[in-house]
């Protein structure tokens, strides 16, 4: 039936083309309206104009333009006559060629119509789930003009420290339900902000009493003015929420700065900064032991820091990905869904024109849902590339240009780049490469790009044949994808969106991939079924279900082209011996 319809449509198109070519050459289009061609008489032969205003619109063109026009029309007439003579004089073979021509046109037209239907369906599904995927409002948004001072917070124990900051658990009076749990730990006299004593002094409350985390940046070179701090540490503000800087002194200066830093829109797999402000550096628990050199001289005689720095308020997550994997061994299916979450977050960054450039298991936070499954969140944007002027194409004019952090997980196109007057580093697939390397850790294998020895690989020199094999228990599609993400040539590497779609199709679309004749219409039918089932599951089970959340992300980012690329990749891998 489809072939008959295509043939009929093709014959209609072919007939229309034939009529177009066999039309009387004396008929032309003047300024978009059919009518007699200027300067032509009957029979298509050149002749005198019918009147003084024979040109379109009543204009008389100079003689050289009329001659040019007549010459082109005569050439068109000759071409039309030759085409008709060849088609009519060729006999049955000519008619067969015309029939094949019509059939080809019909098939092309049918394929284009199918593609248009698929693209329209994907856009409609995407629009529905984009609205459904809106994040829960920030916990501090209900108290819009609070939380912009360090004194507003009750600070607990240290959560951790990195190469540029220390992180502490915290709560505030704007969240009375949490403050009630911690009120038995009174503030220490003479200390601002309020600081909860460490274990052994007074019984410290559990982690649930501190829903927030405060990140205190170490300020060695930014100076002590709010304007200089916000400008120098602007990368940390890329994931800041819409009201994070409201009311902060110097925020207007930051927003009007010419640095061109981008602001990242919310995503479930990317950290959100609820508040950002500058304040004097306090003496927090463990500071003298953990980072004495970063303190100002007023707090430590040998300190190198300035007296004022940047503070970021975020959600308090139980652990990092490294800590989670140290205590847990996720199943192959769960590990695949964890990789999928990272790819969804990286794809959102790429769509916003931002590169993280420091992806590692220490910079990925984990939250456990009600079902006990982990939800991954990308954090720590201190090394990111988020410049409005360059996007993901960084001019690499000298070795002084910052290529990002974490040299071990630096993509080959970044680690092997050489500076020059026209050299550019493309970061569009660099974070996806890092996800491929982190996948080894998620599947319980040592990251091949860490450590030393014969098993250690360097991104600038490794060969794809040297990559260690993932265990047989890992799904075949996931094994193929990890190797594809770690290809040296970025042009051969799938984008984060295509890679995420590969895992989505592998996880939820096994029966549609098993079809020998996979067509777009069947794919759209499957997508509609998934949409209905996901909406129903979201109402009955709730958004805490890991699979439901992932399916909603998949449908909210649905694109026909990237979905087809993912399906082709999967089919090629499964067809390979």
Residues marked active site are found at 358
Q: Which helix (H) or strand (E) holds 480?
A: helix 476-485
Q: Which helix (H) or strand (E) holds 352?
A: none
As given in the structure block, the two tokens for residue 309 are 């720095």
For residue 172, the cross-strand partners are 153
Distance between CA 440 and CA 432 in Å, rounded? 14
Burial 365-394 (b: 16+ CB within 10 A, else e): bbeeeeeebbbbbbbbbbbbbbbeeebbeb
Q: Three-state secondary structure along 194-235?
A: EECCCCCCCCCCCHHHCCEEEEEECCCCCCCCHHHHHHHCHH
Q: Count CB-CB contacts under 10 A for residue 297.
A: 12
Q: Distance of CA 513 to CAs 33, 333, 526, Å?
A: 51, 18, 11
SS3 180: helix
Q: Distance of CA 445 to CAs 269, 325, 363, 431, Å?
A: 23, 10, 19, 20
Each as own residue / partner, the long-range contacts of residues 521-527 (CB below 8 Å, 24 or more positions apart, any chain) are 521/114, 521/117, 521/118, 523/118, 523/563, 523/567, 524/117, 524/118, 524/121, 524/122, 527/121, 527/122, 527/125, 527/555, 527/558
10 Å CB burial of residue 498 (0-12, 13-18, 19+) is: buried
């Amino acid at each position: 039936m489809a072939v008959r319809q295509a043939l009929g449509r093709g014959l209609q198109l072919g007939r229309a083309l034939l009529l177009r070519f066999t039309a009387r050459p004396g008929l032309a289009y003047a300024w978009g309206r059919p009518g007699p061609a200027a300067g032509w008489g009957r029979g298509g032969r050149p002749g005198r104009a019918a009147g003084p205003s024979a040109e379109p619109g009543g204009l008389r063109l100079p003689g050289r333009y009329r001659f040019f026009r007549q010459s082109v029309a005569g050439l068109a007439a000759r071409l039309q006559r030759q085409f008709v003579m060849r088609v009519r004089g060729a006999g049955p073979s000519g008619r067969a060629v015309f029939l094949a021509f019509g059939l080809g046109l019909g098939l092309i037209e049918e394929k284009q119509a199918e593609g248009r239907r698929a693209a329209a369906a994907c856009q409609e599904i995407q629009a529905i789930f984009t609205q459904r995927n809106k994040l829960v409002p920030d916990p501090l948004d209900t108290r819009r003009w609070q939380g912009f001072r360090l004194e507003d917070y009750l600070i607990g124990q240290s959560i951790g420290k990195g190469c540029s900051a220390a992180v502490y658990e915290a709560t505030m009076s704007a969240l009375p339900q949490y403050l009630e749990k911690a009120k038995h730990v009174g503030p220490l006299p003479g200390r601002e902000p309020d600081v909860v004593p460490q274990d052994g002094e007074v019984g410290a409350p559990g982690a649930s009493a501190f829903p927030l985390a405060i990140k205190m940046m170490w300020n060695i070179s930014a100076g002590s003015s709010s304007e200089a701090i916000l400008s120098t540490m602007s990368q940390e503000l890329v994931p800041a929420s819409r009201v994070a800087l409201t009311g902060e002194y110097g925020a207007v200066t930051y927003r009007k700065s010419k640095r061109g830093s981008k602001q990242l829109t919310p995503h479930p797999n990317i950290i959100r900064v609820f508040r950002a402000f500058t304040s004097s550096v306090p003496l927090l628990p463990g500071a003298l032991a953990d980072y004495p050199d970063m303190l100002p001289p007023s707090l430590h005689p040998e300190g190198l820091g300035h007296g004022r720095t940047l503070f970021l308020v975020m959600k308090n997550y139980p652990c990092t990905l490294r800590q989670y994997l140290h205590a847990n061994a996720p199943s192959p299916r769960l590990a695949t869904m964890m990789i999928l979450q990272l790819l969804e977050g990286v794809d959102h960054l790429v769509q916003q024109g931002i590169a993280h450039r420091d992806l590692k298991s220490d910079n990925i936070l984990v939250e456990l849902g009600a079902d006990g499954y982990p939800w991954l969140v990308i954090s720590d944007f201190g090394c990111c590339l988020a410049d409005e002027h360059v996007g993901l194409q960084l001019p690499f004019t000298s070795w002084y240009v910052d290529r990002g952090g974490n040299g071990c997980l630096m993509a080959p196109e970044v680690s092997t780049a050489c500076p020059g007057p026209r050299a550019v580093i493309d970061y569009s697939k660099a974070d996806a490469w890092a996800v491929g390397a982190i996948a080894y850790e998620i599947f319980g294998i040592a990251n091949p790009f860490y450590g030393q020895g014969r098993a250690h690989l360097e991104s600038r020199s490794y060969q794809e044949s040297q990559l260690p094999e993932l265990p047989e228990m890992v799904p075949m599609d996931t094994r193929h994808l990890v190797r594809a993400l770690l290809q040296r040539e970025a042009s051969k590497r799938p984008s984060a969106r295509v890679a995420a779609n590969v895992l989505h199709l592998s996880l939820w679309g096994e029966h549609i991939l098993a079809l020998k004749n996979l067509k777009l219409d069947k794919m759209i039918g499957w997508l509609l079924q998934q949409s209905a089932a996901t909406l129903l599951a979201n109402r009955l089970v709730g958004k805490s279900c890991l699979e439901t959340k992932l399916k909603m992300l998949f449908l909210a980012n649905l694109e026909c082209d990237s979905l087809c690329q993912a399906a082709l990749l999967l089919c090629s891998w499964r067809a390979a011996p």
